[in-house]
Structure formats: C-alpha cells, structure tokens
Amino acid sequence: MTRDAAWLSRRALLAGAASFALPSSVRSQADVATDRKGDTMRLRFIFAVQDFTATLEDNPSARDLVSMLPLDLTIDDYSTNEKIAYLPRKLTEKGSGRFGSEAVGDLCYYAPWGNLAIFHGPYRWSRGLIRLGRLDHGPPPLLLRGEHPLRVETL
C-alpha cells in the first residue's frame, strides 16, 4: 500500500468513526422535512406578542400536520415544562417510535390526546410522544404564561 493510499484509508476510517461519535442531537439534512420543491419545511407560530418558527423533521406525522395548515388553535400551559394546543383531528402515527436526544425547544405530538406539545423545559420521552421538529431559536417565546389564541402556518 502506498503512503498516499494508507493516509486516505486512515482518513476514511477516522471520518467513519467520527460520524458514530457525533451526538444524536446533530441532525442530518435527511432528517429534516422538505416540501415538493425540496425546501426545508418550517412553521410559524403566533400567539399574544410571540412570533417564532420551527423546523420540521421528515416524518409522516410532521407531513400530516403541514397538510392541515393554516390552523387557529388555543395554546395553554401544561405542567411546568410545556405548552399544548389541541388539533382539530389526530395526526398519523405511522413511523413513530422511541426517540432520544430530548431537548428544550422540541415540537412534539402527543398521540393519546391529539395535541401539540412544545417543550420550554427538560422532559423525557413517553409512549405516544412523536417529535415533529424543533424551535429555531429556542424556547423563550413559550415562557409567556396563560391561555392564548394560536396561529400555526407554513413559513
């Protein structure tokens, strides 16, 4: 094996090992939902004086949510770490399952109740929870307490 070939083999091996070492919170482009034009799917949420966006994952539930937009809902506090909004109908659960790397700013769907759950505090996955995406700029807009009309639309 030549010195150049050995260097390339080591480089390829290190690159492969590095891809396994990356935290699961690092997302590949394949995990992000795209529309028919190949653009990343993003949502806009508006309530009270809050206006924020989220980038969707590429899964059947997220695509089903997009098919319902725009929506006028009500957002309210639930527990100490999330806001919820009930959808007019349940989303598909096809392809759902346990996920890791739960993080503040996750946009999820809770299938048993048929509601969106947007986390502004730490949480753990539970059965029936499907991650739809993540807030683009973190959870500060969710810290406004109380019940408010909510508008959800594509960006």
Find the radius of gyration of the CA atoms of the chain: 19
Pick one of 2.40.100.20, 3.40.50.620, 3.30.750.200, 3.40.50.720 as the CATH number of 27-154. 2.40.100.20
Q: What stretches of the chain adopt beta strand conformation (E)? A: 42-47, 50-56, 71-78, 82-86, 106-110, 115-119, 129-135, 148-154
Residues 38-68 have pLDDT tens digits of: 568 999 999 999 999 999 999 999 999 999 9
pLDDT at residue 46, rounded to an integer: 97
Residues 18-45 have pLDDT tens digits of: 333 333 333 333 344 454 455 689 999 9
- Total residues belonging to the chain: 155
pTM to 2 decimal places: 0.76
Domain ranges of the chain: 27-154
Percent of the chain having pLDDT more than 90? 71
